[in-house]
Amino acid sequence: MNDPFEMLGVERRFDLDLKVLEKTHRELSRALHPDRFVKAGASERRAVLEKAASVNEAWRTVRDPIARAEALFRLAGIEVGEDKEPKASPAFLMAVMDEREALSDARAAKDLVKVHAVGATMGKRASETEQKLTAGFAASRGDTAATQKLVPLLGELRFYKRFLDEVSAIEEEND
């Protein structure tokens, strides 16, 4: 697996300053732009193109909290993926189900204020989960067993992301 953190020249951690990283990505993209290598040999152009693609893939990975967490887990030797992660707790699933029902009712009533409010609640929970991941990754540096305990948070973040995607879709269809 390629290390997206190494590719962008940043420390392996969950809590990243994405504005600084975006600037780094732009600078790397500019330096690797094909126009700069027009006179280079075919193998050098191909190598630069591959590196540019890797830089772009690294940027896509680190800017998405789920992909960033997945990368950190994989780099720690922990397999992740929805089929490899523990099932969410019944209490968590019930809470999400209740919010999904509220979202469904708001959608049916075309109550965009309620849709937005439910989305804001879930957005706050997603942010709290990201903060837990930030603290957990920071505290577990190098300890695979401690890192492994964070995997359920990734599952929660996946639920929140899907929920928030649904909220966005409802808001877009009513624009």
- What CATH code would you report for 4-63? 1.10.287.110
Does residue 51 contact residue 32 with C-beta atoms inside 8 Å? yes
Q: Could you give the CA distance from residue 11 to residue 14 in angstroms, rounded to a whole number?
A: 9
The upper half-sphere exposure of residue 63, i.e. CA atoms within 13 Å in the direction of its Cβ, equals: 14
Q: Could you give the CA distance from residue 102 to residue 106 in angstroms, rounded to a whole number?
A: 6
> For 81-114, what is each residue's pLDDT tens digit?
888 888 889 999 999 999 999 999 999 999 999 9
> Residue 64 belongs to what H/E stretch?
none
CB crowding 84-120: b at 16 or more within 10 Å, else e? ebeebeeeeeeebeebbebbeebbeeeeeeebeebbe
Q: What are phi and psi of 109, to 5 degrees?
A: -85, 0
Q: State the pTM of this model.
A: 0.88
Quick one: what percent of the chain has pLDDT higher than 90? 77
More confident residue, 39 or 148: 148
Q: So what's the architecture of 90-173 in CATH?
A: Up-down Bundle (1.20)
Domain ranges in the chain?
A: 4-63, 90-173
Q: Could you give the CA distance from residue 30 to residue 143 in angstroms, rounded to a whole number?
A: 37
> For 156-174, what is each residue's pLDDT tens digit?
999 999 999 999 999 998 8
Q: Could you give the CA distance from residue 28 to residue 36 in angstroms, rounded to a whole number?
A: 12
* Fold agreement (4-63, 90-173): no
Comparing C-alpha atoms, which of 138, 3, 162 is closest to residue 68?
Answer: 3
- Say how many Å lie between the first and final Cα of the chain, rounded: 41
